[in-house]
Structure 1
Amino acid sequence: MHMPQPLKRALKRTAHAAVLGLALLGAASQAESPPERVPPVPLEFFFQHARTLEAKLSPSGDYLALTTSHGSDRVALVVVSFKPSIQAQRIAHYKDADVIDFHWTSDQRLVFSVGDLKDDANADEYAPGLIAMDRDGKNQRLLVKRQAQFVTGGGADRSLEWNHMLLWSLQNTAAEIPNEVIVGRLNFSGDRQLQSVTPLWLNTETGRTRNAGVLGAPDNVQQWLFDNNGQVRLAIALDKGRVSAHWRDLKAENTWRTLFDTPPLEAPFDPIAVDTQGALYVNTNTGAQGEAELKRFDFSSGRPEAQAIVSTPGFDFTGRLRMEAGQLMGVDVLTDARQTVWLKPELKALQALADEKLPGRINVLSCRRCSQADAVVLVHSYSDRSPGEYWIYRAAEKQWETIGGVRPEIDPRRMASVDFQRIKTRDGRDMPVWITLPQGVKPGKPAPTVVMVHGGPWVRGGQWEWEPMEQFLASRGYLVIAPEFRGSTGYGAQHYRASFKQWGQAMQDDVADALLWARKEGLADPERACIAGASYGGYATLMGLIRHPELYRCGVSWVAVTDLPLLVEGSWRVNDDTGNFRKYGMADTIGRAKEDRAMLEANSPVHQAARLKRPVLLAMGENDVRVPLAHGTRMREALEKAGNPPQYVVYPGEGHGWRKVKNRVDFAQRVEAFLQQHIGNAP
């Protein structure tokens, strides 16, 4: 479950890097043409760690850093040097922790955070620590402690306490700020909710801190925006149920200008970036269907400019600005797939070169000296059927070098294709739907189907890329339908706001309409369908079996919200991390604890368990603080009382999802057997 936008932005916390994956020594993916019939792809291939989580060029482009699990059950940090020849050195590798995020601070030095991908998924959310190290593995210094300490720093111990997190690091070398980053000190209220974040400059060599220039800033700032030189330019505060944005005027010392002050759901724009000239770029919902458009902010009028820089009809602008030395070079844009719109001819030429070299794929460029004749380019190339490959291109030599496959064990020829459609819901709304089509399905021969409901619900569900669970199900012969039901973000404010107070109601009908559409199109077997999902998706799975029992034979629900009154009211006996959202957002988006009690109970699986007659696989994380275990135990007890006991599993040490590979594999095995039993489709 996630908080809605823009409340989520106002409450934003630094997040762990997503697992992207790349294998330094892995083989490149093979041509994507269908293979001969062979046994199913091993289940473990989909759920083990990707060979590498992330890759980044150094400021000069002479070095590449990457996090990889190659040859180990722990994620390590590796530095690759390209001159005079390719050489790799593992510089950080720990027995009881994984490197989960890293940044270059110069060509010589990196900073990185650690977590435990084998242990509690909540343990490092606020305390991943921060360590600095030279690219050769020397001069290690512990900058920020972890709550679970595992490593000591060099020299005098100036390390900060666990409640400090990295906020900003240089993307390009700046001689006037050598090896410094900005960290934020997280300040909590008495009920353990994040109250404010205080930014500090931190020297990665000495461990010394200094003020980040926030005198005169408002109280309760939870998010800061910096320019390319690390200057604080904008503060977003959440105080007494209102969100406000404040601009720092560098010409007038300690002077802050309020740009807006509204209830969280009424914020007029979302700040995105600041360039070296002091231009502020914002997202604002001014499209025909309330789609977010990228604009510059006009300080003279006090509002975003009328003309959009980037507009994507049918989609919110979702992406990032590509800056080099603070200059706007291009814009990443996500519609049904990701692409980069480059503003400079040299970069357009590099993109065209990569697309010609690697056709039929999304080719994401990250470069150094991007517009120069000696540009160095890192290319992440992927598709719906391929987790991807990484390449290096050197413009001066016109030379391509393959770094390796993201998941070299995955053969793209054996993966499913992903399609994007827009359909009409029963009340006439436009709804995007993702379809993962297994191989071997022919027109007129509909496949057994899994309707996959994404979590959130106020997030975007999919894009054109390889996704492990959906590809796993497709590899077992199931058609996977993933609707972007109302409330899904990325498709305009109208689509998002249509979800308010519609849990289990119109939102649930949207999910059903996606399956009905697929049946009408001859894609989905009209007799064999199950529904599945996690978090909100787990809730929608249970409510789907209650509201539309004629459509589904079974449901797979994990880390699911099951009791809406418990979610909205909270309980002193049930620990969760949704206090701020409960206080400032749930009344408008889900419902009010007293006034809407009847509606909340009518749409709570726990309270409606007697109506749920279909088989259920229900799984929970023992240490989940987003959707606590109480939701699972109450649902299990309610189903047992109703005479329909679920298949029930609780994973010790897990939080809101499965971090441990053994648990991901175990759960997938349970899902495979459960679906085979109820809509049987052995490949």
Structure 2
Amino acid sequence: MIKYFLAGLATMAGLAHAAPPVQQFFESAHYKDAKLSPSGRYLALRVGSNEARDSVLVFDNESLKVVGGGRLADYDVGTIRWVNDNRLLYTVADSTVATGDKRFAPGLYAMSRDGKENRQLAEHRFSGSGTGSHIKSRLEPWNTFLMDEEGAQDSDTVYVERPIWSERAGYEIERTELVKLNTATGQSVTLSHPGNAEGWMLDHKGEPSILVAAKDGRETIYYRNADGEWREIATQAAYGSDMDAIAPIGFYDDKHLLVKTRMKGDKAALYLMNLGTGKLDPSPLVAMADFDFNGSMVYSKKRLVGLHYLADARSSAWFDPALKAAQAEVDKQLGGMVNIITPPTQPETDWLLVVSYSDRQPRFYSVYNSKTHELKGLGSARPDIKSSEMGRQDFVKYRARDGLEVPAWLTLPAKEGKKLPMVVLVHGGPYVRGNEWGWNAESQFLASRGYAVLAPEFRGSTGYGMKLFDAGLKQWGLKMQHDIADSVKWAVEKGIADPARICIMGGSYGGYATLMGLINDPSLYRCGIAYAAVTDIPLQYSSGMAVLSDLPSDYKAYGVPVLVGDLEKDAAQFIATSPLQQAARIKRPLLLAHGTDDRRVPVPHYNKLRSALTDAKADAEFIEYVGEGHGWSTLKTRLDFWGRVEKFLDKHIGPNANQ
């Protein structure tokens, strides 16, 4: 099977001709997710296509024959999860309708491995809150969701989360309950706990052991001991730059919690916390020079065997010698790829799951036998993508005008070249990490059309240390905007970009930054593309938008003043940095798109700016996608939007641009 896999990669390296069609980049992935059964004997693979609903297939890893699985006629299979070696859970979705047309929740179903038994466990149509804590034997209410952790996978029971929406504040989640659910009988019970629960975490044995509660801009972390008693282990500010704040990541063993913290340093690292004393080890378990620690624990046989983490790309650190050796062998067989291996939780076989990718190669799924060293290829998420037609991605750094070092991601077309037309791709958030090394549909689509793509991790971005994040506080339209402009100047000075052919583009906060780029730096940008864009800061956070917006009131009350600014004290700054208020200054061509059912940035942002731009006789194209939310959920919308993007760029900075 390894020969088949390598042959597949060789085919992907064939000669490029015409630019790949837009659909290859933005259609739903063919192979979407894979989960190894607890014993390692079976693999559940979620698959789909443009012609068929997503389904789950169960393979026997020895023969790679399909031995089970299933689908629903009117829905796509969503997230899949093993309960034990004989039973799986899955949620449902519908990729054919836009966000505003969806009238159901993910729901929850259990099925036998062979697919012959299929039991609905939770509603997927809205039907009340279902907040009771008594034992019940009926369908769970619609607001029942899988946890991030897989759990013990050694019985018929799982833990699920139940967000409770406030009756007073529209879409706001008031608290999140934890429910223990028997997937065979359908009976459930709600776990008692202290505080106003916001998030939960299971330990290495699959039991709920960490609770994060939030109130009035503060969060409290509780630990549940072996006797079932909850004990407070930390309280800290929920927003801002608390250097002593900790974030629970996982369990090292029964006595030690793994936490992410800075310990007065710039980069967050992984430390051991003694649960008895509450003290942290003085030296980190994992620390990186350029990145904050961001990762998850890997457990097998109810013990910590390693961890997956993100630096520039994803990687793994293994404490188990056998898994360390398996990683080395897989990396040898699949050189030039990032290879993430995952062991079974209750291993009875030697099979491991392998997910491989590179900057030019979308994810490819395989299984590896650690005893025989046999690697069996299963398939690619995007089999039509040819790596030879994809661009190279590099992690770069540049200096902002005040001397701050800013990271960025540069993707060049496959043919590369100098003084290329360039798209500055601004991430949303903004207080998130924007990118990582790997195949990215948006960047690669633009690169396949001959554009250099520069994605700056401007100040305020997370994942690169507290100094970069802290420098972005209250800097919307100011120093955050300067960083984006300075990335353009860097690319021009390096000979990468043609200064006369640069366009700025982004969604959400990235849309806001696009609009402010056209306002502040019209000499740098030939055009702009903004979608789902914040067009006015007070409009986004005012109480008048509460009915439409899904932003929590706690974030508006305590997060916004720290991160963005005070709506009253900083009113003058918000006017100066408002695309809506400064719309008459937008003189460059603009493509503006929005979904009518966007709850994160409600459609009045778009409507008001459209009116202002129309009054100013701006050179703007407007697209309104009925039913779409904060981003494009249907293939029809994605193809339409990116087709318009291609034509817009070609007209203004591409081969057919009027210079």
- What interval of TM-score do these two structures reach, taking the shorter chain for normalisation? over 0.9
Shift of 1:322: 1.4
Shift of 1:95: 3.6
Query: Deviation per CA, 1:38-96, whole angstroms, max 9, x where unpaired?
Result: 1111111111111021101111111111111147342111111234x322266332343
2:109 is the counterpart of 1:131: yes
Secondary structure of 1:105 counterpart: strand
| CA spacing shift, 1:287–1:353, aligned 2, 3 Å | farther
d(CA) in 2 for partners of 1:533 and 1:369?
40
Shift of 1:235: 1.2
2:458 is the counterpart of 1:485: yes
Which residue of the other structure, out of 219, 239, 254, is the alignment partner of 1:277?
254
Query: Deviation per CA, 1:607-664, whole angstroms, max 9, x where unpaired?
Result: 0001110010001011110011111111111111111052111111211101101110
d(CA) in 1 for partners of 2:254 and 2:8?
43
Instruction: Tell me the residue number matched to 1:13.
Output: none
Secondary structure of 1:187 counterpart: strand
What are the within-5 Å matches in structure 2 for residues 6-405 of structure 1? Answer: 29-31=8-10, 35-36=14-15, 38-70=17-49, 72-83=51-62, 85-88=63-66, 91-121=69-99, 127-147=105-125, 158-167=138-147, 170-171=150-151, 173-174=153-154, 178-189=155-166, 190-192=168-170, 193-212=172-191, 214=192, 217-251=193-227, 253-265=228-240, 266=242, 268-286=245-263, 288=265, 290-299=266-275, 301-368=277-344, 374-405=349-380
Instruction: Tell me the residue number matched to 1:598.
Output: 572
d(CA) in 2 for partners of 1:514 and 1:422?
9
d(CA) in 1 for partners of 2:252 and 2:187?
28
Shift of 1:33: 8.8
Instruction: Tell me the residue number matched to 2:392.
Output: 417
Which residue of the other structure, out of 569, 581, 605, is the alignment partner of 1:631?
605
d(CA) in 1 for partners of 2:512 and 2:334?
41
Query: Deviation per CA, 1:574-626, whole angstroms, max 9, x where unpaired?
Result: 61101332122111111111111111111110000011100100010111100
d(CA) in 2 for partners of 1:281 and 1:567?
36
d(CA) in 1 for partners of 2:649 and 2:91?
39
Secondary structure of 1:571 counterpart: helix
d(CA) in 2 for partners of 1:440 and 1:488?
31
Shift of 1:31: 3.2
Secondary structure of 1:30 counterpart: helix
Instruction: Tell me the residue number matched to 1:11.
Output: none
Shift of 1:172: 5.2
- The answer to whether the 8 A contact 2:549-2:601 is kept is yes
d(CA) in 2 for partners of 1:573 and 1:103?
35
What are the within-5 Å matches in structure 2 for residues 429-578 of structure 1? Answer: 429-442=404-417, 445-571=418-544, 575-578=548-551
- The answer to whether the 8 A contact 1:568-1:592 is kept is no
Secondary structure of 2:637 counterpart: helix
- The answer to whether the 8 A contact 1:376-1:393 is kept is yes
Amino acid in structure 1 at the alignment position of 2:505? A
Query: Deviation per CA, 1:489-519, whole angstroms, max 9, x where unpaired?
Result: 1101121121111001000010011111011
Query: Deviation per CA, 1:98-157, whole angstroms, max 9, x where unpaired?
Result: 2121100011100111122222336779931111111111221111111269xxxxxx97
Query: Deviation per CA, 1:270-319, whole angstroms, max 9, x where unpaired?
Result: 1111244242110002374x211000113455343221000001200011
- The answer to whether the 8 A contact 1:26-1:405 is kept is no
Shift of 1:173: 4.1
d(CA) in 2 for partners of 1:452 and 1:538?
10
2:642 is the counterpart of 1:668: yes
d(CA) in 2 for partners of 1:573 and 1:234?
31
Structure 2 length as normaliser, TM-score?
0.92
- The answer to whether the 8 A contact 2:583-2:613 is kept is yes
Higher alpha-carbon deviation: 578-587 or 661-670: 578-587
| CA spacing shift, 1:27–1:71, aligned 2, 3 Å | farther
d(CA) in 2 for partners of 1:107 and 1:404?
23
Shift of 1:255: 4.3
- The answer to whether the 8 A contact 1:29-1:411 is kept is no
Amino acid in structure 2 at the alignment position of 1:375? D
| CA spacing shift, 1:71–1:480, aligned 2, 3 Å | closer
Shift of 1:572: 5.0
- The answer to whether the 8 A contact 1:546-1:612 is kept is yes
d(CA) in 2 for partners of 1:512 and 1:168?
38
Secondary structure of 1:387 counterpart: coil
| CA spacing shift, 1:72–1:89, aligned 2, 3 Å | farther
Shift of 1:27: 9.7
What are the within-5 Å matches in structure 2 for residues 615-626 of structure 1? Answer: 615-626=589-600
- The answer to whether the 8 A contact 2:158-2:180 is kept is yes
Instruction: Tell me the residue number matched to 1:19.
Output: none
- The answer to whether the 8 A contact 2:220-2:232 is kept is no
d(CA) in 2 for partners of 1:228 and 1:82?
26
Query: Deviation per CA, 1:328-360, whole angstroms, max 9, x where unpaired?
Result: 211222111111111222111101111110001
Instruction: Tell me the residue number matched to 1:17.
Output: none
d(CA) in 2 for partners of 1:114 and 1:489?
32
d(CA) in 1 for partners of 2:343 and 2:103?
30
- The answer to whether the 8 A contact 1:559-1:627 is kept is yes
- The answer to whether the 8 A contact 1:330-1:341 is kept is yes
d(CA) in 1 for partners of 2:515 and 2:149?
44
- The answer to whether the 8 A contact 1:461-1:484 is kept is yes
d(CA) in 2 for partners of 1:439 and 1:232?
48
d(CA) in 2 for partners of 1:100 and 1:413?
32
Query: Deviation per CA, 1:382-403, whole angstroms, max 9, x where unpaired?
Result: 1000003211112333322111
Higher alpha-carbon deviation: 606-615 or 35-44: 35-44
Instruction: Tell me the residue number matched to 1:14.
Output: none
Instruction: Tell me the residue number matched to 1:584.
Output: 558
What is the aligned-residue identity percentage?
38
d(CA) in 1 for partners of 2:291 and 2:138?
47
Higher alpha-carbon deviation: 32-41 or 56-65: 32-41
